[in-house]
């Protein structure tokens, strides 16, 4: 497993330590998971497969046409 050295400010270090402790993870594991989530920020295949599965879902125009625009307060 690779090792990387990073520099962070003291406030961020304290926040990381606190969250890692509260989640029962080591600091290294917490940071590794955070980076992995950031890099893999895409839709899961199961979610992608749901696309188009709601044939009767109204279009944006249908939603807009079926609502009443309420009077807004003046500034």
- Give the model confidence (pLDDT) of 29-72 as tens digits: 999 999 998 888 778 788 888 877 877 888 889 888 888 888 88
Q: Identify the band that residue 22 occupies on the pLDDT scale cut at 50, 70 and 90.
A: very high
**Lookup result for tokens 């879902």:** 57
Task: State residue 3's pLDDT score.
Answer: 93
Pairwise pLDDT comparison (18 vs 68), residue with the higher score: 18
| Helices and strands in the chain: count of H runs, count of E runs | 4, 0
Task: State residue 41's pLDDT score.
Answer: 77
**Lookup result for tokens 């188009």:** 52
Task: State residue 27's pLDDT score.
Answer: 96
């Amino acid at each position: 497993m690779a090792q990387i050295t990073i520099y962070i400010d003291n406030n961020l270090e304290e926040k990381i330590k606190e969250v890692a402790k509260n989640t029962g993870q080591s600091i290294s594991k917490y940071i590794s998971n955070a980076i992995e989530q950031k890099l893999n920020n895409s839709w899961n295949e199961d979610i992608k497969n749901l696309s188009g599965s709601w044939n009767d879902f109204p279009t944006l125009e249908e939603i807009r046409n079926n609502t009443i625009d309420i009077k807004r307060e003046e500034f």
